[in-house]
Homo-oligomer: A and B are copies of this chain.
Amino acid sequence: MLFYAKINFMKNKNSNIVVLAQLNPISGDVEYNKNKAIENIKKANEINADLIIFPELFLIGYPIGDILTRYPYLAEQSKKALEEIKNITSNTAVLIGFAEENKEKFGKPFYNSVALIQNREIKRIIRKSLLANYAEHNDYRYFEPAKINKEDRLININGINYGIAICEDSWNDFDFFEKNLYSIDPIKEIAPSADIIICPSSSCTRAKKEQLKHNMMKHLAKKYNVKYIYVNQTGANDELVYDGYSRMYDEKGELCAMAKGFEEDFFIIDLNSNENTINPLPKGLELTLNSQKEFSLDHTPDLERTYRAITLAIKDYFKKNNFKRAVLGLSGGLDSTICAVLLADALGKENVLGISMPSKLTSSDSKNDAKELAQNLGINFMEIPIKDMHDNISDKFENIFSKAQDLFKERYSQSFTQDNIQARSRALILWGIANEFASTIPIATSDKSELYMGYATINGDMSGGYAPISDVVKTKLFALARWMNENRPQKNTIPESIINKPPQAELAIDPKTGKTLLAEDALMPYEFLDEVIWRIENFNQSIDNMMKSKFLYEKKNILDEKTKLQWLNKFFRRLNTAIYKWYIIPPGPVIDGRSINKIEFRQPIISNINYSK
C-alpha cells in the first residue's frame, strides 16, 4: 500500500529516479537470482525509474568459488537468464552483474561484467579491471582483468552521465591509499567525464571496514566532484555476511542516501531531491570512524554490527541449506550461552534445542545456569547426564590403553584423554539428534580466542555443522553478553552468574587448586591473549615486536618480562598446532577485520615458522 503510494508520487514528479536493488542472491542458483531480478525490474518499470542497479555478479551469486569453472554450464544458464531479463526491460535501464565468458584465445575463462539493458536491448557490457585476490577474494582465479577503455564505462541515461566501476575498480585511489595494489585507477579515467559514479559491489561486513568504506567513498565523491552510488548485496553465503547499506554521496562527499542494513531493500533514490532516506548504521560504529590504534576492551562500537551479522549469517546458512533447527550443548558457560541466544534470535526459539550434559566435573551452578538460560530464552531444553557414558568409555579405554602400551610405548603420564572423552560424548549426542531428527544442525560453540590456542576438542566442542562465534574473541563475547542483555527486546536473558564466572571447560581438575581448571590458568589471561591476536591481525607483529610493546594488561597488572615471553611463546607454539583444527573447523561467519578462518587465510599445516623477528 505504502509502496504504491510512493510510486505515484514519483511518477508525477517526473524526476530522475534510481533504484538500488539491494538483494540477497544464492551462489550458483541462477534461476532463483534471475526470478528475483525480474521481480525487481518490474517494480522499477512501474515507477518509471531511470535506472535499476543490481549488486556485482548478481545473476550467478557471490561468492561463487570454483563452481564457475567446474560447471561452465552455469555461465550458459546465466546468459539465458540475461536474455529473459532483456525481454522484460522497458525504458528503465537495468545494470546487472553476470559472469561473462571470455571467448578469446588469451586470458582467464570469464570476465566479471555488468550488462546495461534497456528497451529489450543489451546496450553495453562493462568489465571489471581490478581483481581482488586477497582475504576471502579469489577473483583472479576465474576472471580476466579487462583493459580500461574510458568510453566503454560511461553511459548516458536521460541526460545524466554515469561512470561504472565494479567493486574493486573503485578501490585504488592513489591519494587515499598509502600503498596501492594496482598501478591503474579506473576511477581516475572515468570520473572526470561523469556526473555520477556507480559502484555495483559484493562487499562483506568486517570490523572497521565500514569506516574505511565511508571515508574512501566520501573522498572519491569530493575529489572528483561527482555523486557516488554504491550498491551492495545483502544476506550471508557460508562465512561471508553482506551488510547491504547501499548508498549515495553527493558532490561534496556528504552521505545523502542510505539503504537498510542486513536485509533486502528496493531502495529508491530521487537524484533531484535533498531528502532521500538515510537509514542508520549499527549503533556505535560512528565512534570508531578513525581506525583504532590501541587495543581496547571497550568493544561497544562493534557490538550491534556483530550481533546483526551473526544472526543474519545463521539465518541464511540454515535457510539456504534447507535446514531449520539447531541443537547445542549448554554448559552454563559463556560461549554456549551466547550461541543459544543468537540461534534463538535467528531461527526462532522453537527451533533451538539446548542440552545440558553434565559430567561428574560439572558444578550444580553450571547446571542451574544452563537451565535458567534455556527457560529465560524459551528454547527447548533437556538435561542428559553423561557420567554413565564417560565411565563406560573410560573403563573401556583403560583396558585398551593397557594393551596398547605394550605395542606402542610412549604413553603420556598426563594426557587430555579424559577431558576429551567428555567433550566427544557430548558431540556424539548432538550429532545423534541431528541424525535422528529432520533438518537439524549441531552447533560448534568454540570462540576465536580459544581456537587460536587450539583449546577445543576435535570431534568435541569444535565439531558441528556451523560455528557461530568462531571469529569473536572472548573479551568481546563478555561485552556482547551484556549488550544483548540490554538491547534485545527481552532484557537480562543471560543470567548474571554466567557473565561473572571465570571461563572454564569443566573437563579437568587443576592439581594446584584441587578445583576444576580455569581456562586462564590453562592458557593465559584473556585480556592478554586477545591483545596478542589483535596485534597479529592488525599489525603482523612478531614476538620481538610484542615484547617491545606495552600491553593493556601490563598497564593494569604487574607482568615480568619472563612471564610475558613465556605467554607469547606458548601462544605461537599452540597456534602452530591449532592450524590443523582450523583446517577442519566447520564454517562460521567472518566478523573481525582479519581471521584465520580457512575461507580467507591459508596457512600450511606444515609450517615451521620462527615467530621472532
Interface residues of A (CB under 8 A from B): 26-32, 61, 63-67, 69-74, 76-77, 105-108, 131, 133-134, 138, 140-141, 174, 178-183, 237-238, 316-317, 320-321, 325, 327, 353, 380-382, 384, 388-389, 392-393, 396-397, 400-401, 403-405, 407-412, 415-417, 420-421, 424, 427-429, 431-433, 435-440, 458-459, 463, 465, 536, 540, 542, 544, 580, 583-587, 598, 601-613
Contact = CB atoms under 8 A, between A and B. Distances in A.
A598 to B, nearest CB: 7
B420 A179 contact: no
Given A27-B608, A238-B604, A583-B587, 5 more contacts: A66-B602, A131-B140, A317-B606, A397-B429, A404-B437
Contacts of A108: 181
A238 B605 contact: yes
A256 B294 CA distance: 61
A179 B411 CA distance: 57
Contact of A320 (B178, B586, B606, B611): B606
Contacts of A380: 407-408
Contacts of A61: 604, 607
A393 B428 contact: yes
Contacts of A141: 133-134, 602
A73 B539 CA distance: 12
Contacts of A609: 28-29, 67, 71, 74
A183 B107 contact: yes
Contacts of A409: 437
B610 A30 contact: yes
Contacts of A31: 610
A410 B437 contact: yes
Nearest to A572: B71
Q: 7 tightest A-B contacts by CB?
A: A29-B608, A28-B607, A380-B407, A65-B602, A410-B438, A28-B609, A106-B183
A580 B322 CA distance: 13
B29 A432 contact: no
Contacts of A429: 396-397, 400
Contacts of A427: 459
29 contacts: A29-B607, A29-B608, A32-B608, A61-B604, A63-B604, A70-B603, A71-B609, A73-B544, A74-B609, A77-B610, A77-B613, A106-B183, A107-B182, A133-B138, A237-B606, A320-B606, A321-B606, A381-B407, A382-B400, A384-B396, A404-B436, A404-B437, A408-B433, A409-B437, A417-B436, A424-B428, A424-B431, A424-B459, A431-B459
A605 B319 CA distance: 12
Contacts of A420: 431-432, 435
A392 B178 CA distance: 63
Contacts of A72: 540
Contacts of A131: 140
A438 B353 CA distance: 38
A51 to B, nearest CB: 29
Contacts of A404: 353, 382, 433, 436-437
A122 to B, nearest CB: 22
A432 B404 CA distance: 11
Nearest to A605: B238
Interface centre among A133, A180, A585, A609 (most CB of B within 10 A): A609
A76 to B, nearest CB: 7
A587 B605 contact: yes
A603 B67 contact: yes
Contacts of A69: 134, 540
Given A76-B613, A415-B435, A601 B70 contact: yes
Interface centre among A108, A409, A433, A601 (most CB of B within 10 A): A433
Contacts of A67: 603-604, 607, 609
Nearest to A599: B602
A403 B382 contact: yes
Contacts of A238: 604-606
B411 A27 contact: no
A586 B584 contact: yes
Contact of A388 (B179, B396, B405): B396
A417 B544 CA distance: 51
A188 to B, nearest CB: 13
Contacts of A410: 437-439
B65 A401 contact: no
